[in-house]
């Protein structure tokens, strides 16, 4: 089955609908209003052991409407774009606004901060939603994994996904911005077995441009290599050791930090980085920053969820907090200006003292190389951190054997201060871009 879709053809329709919603809100007596419109069309399928297991086409449209009655706000949403549905949804939002409590921090972003220039960020690379092509790619990916090593005995499947999306944001200050995006991905999860049991691992490739994806066979081979490498894991003795996060697990550290620097936890006083603006909280080599205008990247956007222009900024630089991540509302709650981060950050990047990735093992000497994390043992209020982990034990700067049933623990404040080096191997697949990160020491509970 093949579907030719170009969601850009519907972008003008979505803009027209957004304008109609704002007009309806004004007619209903709103002092201000804003609307977010999104449309997504996509194909996801899964192959397991060579057979097509599931196929899903999706076509979703949604409208999130917020109206302001002075400092009272009401919000409602609908997936129905008919005139009657829009009229009813706006009326519902207006009714909610009449009954909610006043909040002096409610309201649209300052008009002077709204994006005026909307550059083309190269986010749209459409291809037909073709079941046969996607199935062949998933089958080739999984087959390459099976043929790579006889110890690959099973599969949780190879999954191919392709989607197109369009987003429109408009408000009664006269701002209307829109952009279309595409997303392509291919992944494979494999299971290996030897005399000591079974292990699983995976690999994937993702990009906005299908031409930038790894070839299916390489994805399958990498998944197989990672899976086989985990066979016959050992336990290790509990102690304090250096810990090296690979790029995929290091992204979680960046996420924990930016969550603690975000407006909601800060104004609720539920962050371990509360009142940290200007304070040194990390190793002086550490830099955490965003790059919203990178062409072709997953987190790129010229405006945020309030319509505020985005710009490159450092959240942490030379170990000190330089900025929080704030929307117009959370900024008002904190008595600070918005940072253009309504809806989140854009291409968040972690950097430190860059060392070739292979040299990080020599610098660590002896310790734990983490390639997988389990559990959610992170307290964002206190910074206490304890997570299940798996990976490899390193001696004399070289990987010795796989390990499992490990717990790594510390406080995030200490982890940030103990970062001694980062790699040159940034993982670009997503909105959070991180390299390998070497922590001077953490408690490693091995259960041996």
Over the stretch 331-351, which tens digit does the pLDDT of each residue have?
999 999 999 999 999 999 999
Strands 354-355 and 419-423: what pairing? Answer: parallel
Tell me how many degrees the CA angle 229-230-234 measures, rounded to the nearest 5: 125
Given this model, what pLDDT does residue 376 score? Answer: 85
Architecture per CATH, domain 2-229, reads as 2-Layer Sandwich (3.30)
Given this model, what pLDDT does residue 12 score? Answer: 92
Inter-residue contact 99 to 73 (CB < 8 Å): no
Distance, CA of 8 to CA of 14 (rounded, Å): 10
Distance, CA of 267 to CA of 428 (rounded, Å): 31
pLDDT tens, N- to C-terminus, the chain (448 residues): 666 667 888 899 999 999 999 999 999 999 999 999 999 999 999 999 999 999 999 999 999 999 999 999 999 999 999 999 999 999 999 999 999 999 999 999 999 999 999 999 999 999 999 999 999 999 999 999 999 999 999 999 999 999 999 999 999 999 999 999 999 999 999 999 999 999 999 999 999 999 999 999 999 999 999 999 999 999 999 999 999 999 999 999 999 999 999 999 999 999 999 999 999 999 999 999 999 999 999 999 999 999 999 999 999 999 999 999 999 999 999 999 999 999 999 999 999 989 999 999 999 999 999 999 998 889 999 999 999 999 999 999 999 999 999 999 999 999 999 999 999 999 999 999 999 999 999 999 986 6
- Describe the crossing of helices 11-27 and 83-99 by its angle, rounded to 10 degrees: 50
Over the stretch 129-154, which tens digit does the pLDDT of each residue have?
999 999 999 999 999 999 999 999 99
Distance, CA of 150 to CA of 288 (rounded, Å): 43
The three-class DSSP label of residue 17 is helix
What letter does residue 137 receive in the DSSP assignment? Answer: H
Residue 166 contacts by C-beta under 8 Å, 6 or more apart in sequence?
7, 8, 10, 11, 14, 38, 39, 178, 179, 180, 181
Given this model, what pLDDT does residue 7 score? Answer: 81
CATH 3.30.2290.10 domain locations along the chain: 2-229
**Burial, 375: exposed, middle or buried (Cβ in 10 Å; 0-12, 13-18, 19+)?**
exposed
Residue whose pair of structure tokens reads 């297991």 in the numeric block = 53
Residue whose pair of structure tokens reads 């000497």 in the numeric block = 365
Distance, CA of 288 to CA of 294 (rounded, Å): 16
**Maximum Cα–Cα distance for the chain, whole Å?**
73
Inter-residue contact 418 to 441 (CB < 8 Å): yes
Given this model, what pLDDT does residue 350 score? Answer: 97
Residues comprising the chain, all counted: 448
Given this model, what pLDDT does residue 447 score? Answer: 65
What letter does residue 11 receive in the DSSP assignment? Answer: H
> Could you give the C-alpha distances from 303 to 157, 164, 342, 367, in angstroms and in order?
37, 19, 9, 43
Closest CA to 419 of 296, 243, 229: 243
> Tokens standing for 33?
């209003």
Given this model, what pLDDT does residue 362 score? Answer: 96
């Amino acid at each position: 089955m093949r579907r030719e879709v170009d969601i850009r053809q519907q972008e003008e329709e979505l803009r027209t609908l957004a304008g109609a919603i704002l007009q309806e809100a004004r007619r209903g007596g709103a002092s201000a209003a804003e609307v977010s419109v999104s449309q997504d069309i996509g194909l996801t399928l899964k192959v397991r052991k060579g057979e097509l297991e599931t196929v899903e086409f999706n076509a979703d449209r949604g409208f999130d409407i917020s109206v302001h009655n002075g400092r009272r706000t009401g919000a409602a949403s609908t997936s129905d774009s008919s005139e009657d549905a829009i009229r009813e949804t706006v009326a519902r939002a207006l009714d909610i606004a009449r009954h909610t409590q006043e909040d002096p921090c409610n309201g649209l972003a300052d008009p002077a901060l709204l994006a005026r220039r909307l550059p083309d960020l190269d986010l749209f690379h459409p291809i037909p939603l073709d079941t046969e092509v996607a199935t062949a790619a998933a089958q080739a990916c999984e087959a390459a994994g099976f043929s790579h090593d006889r110890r690959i005995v099973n599969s949780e499947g190879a999954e191919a996904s392709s989607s197109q999306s369009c987003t429109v944001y408009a408000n009664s200050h006269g701002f209307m911005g829109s952009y279309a995006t595409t997303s392509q991905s291919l992944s494979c999860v494999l299971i290996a077995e030897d005399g000591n049991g079974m292990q699983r691992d995976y690999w994937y490739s993702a990009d906005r441009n299908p031409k930038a994806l790894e070839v299916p066979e390489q994805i399958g081979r990498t998944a197989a290599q990672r899976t086989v490498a985990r066979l016959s894991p050992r336990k290790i003795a509990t102690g304090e050791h250096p810990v090296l996060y690979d790029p995929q697990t290091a992204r979680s550290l960046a996420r924990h930090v930016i969550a603690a620097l975000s407006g909601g936890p800060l104004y609720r006083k539920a962050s371990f980085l509360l009142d940290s603006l200007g304070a040194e909280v990390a190793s002086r080599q550490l830099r955490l920053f965003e790059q919203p205008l990178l062409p072709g990247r997953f987190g790129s956007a010229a405006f945020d969820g309030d319509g505020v222009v985005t710009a490159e900024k450092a959240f942490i630089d030379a170990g000190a907090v330089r900025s929080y991540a704030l929307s117009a509302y959370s900024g008002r709650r904190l008595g600070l200006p918005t940072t253009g981060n309504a809806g989140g950050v854009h291409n968040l990047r972690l950097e430190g003292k860059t060392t070739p990735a292979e040299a990080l093992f020599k610098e660590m000497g002896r310790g734990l190389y983490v390639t997988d994390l389990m559990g959610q043992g992170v307290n964002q209020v206190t910074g206490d951190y304890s997570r299940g982990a798996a990976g490899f034990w390193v001696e004399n700067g070289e990987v010795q054997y796989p390990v499992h049933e490990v717990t790594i623990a510390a406080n995030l404040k200490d982890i940030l201060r103990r970062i001694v080096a980062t790699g040159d191997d940034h993982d670009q697949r997503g909105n959070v871009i991180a390299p390998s990160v070497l922590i001077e020491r953490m408690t490693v509970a091995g259960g041996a």
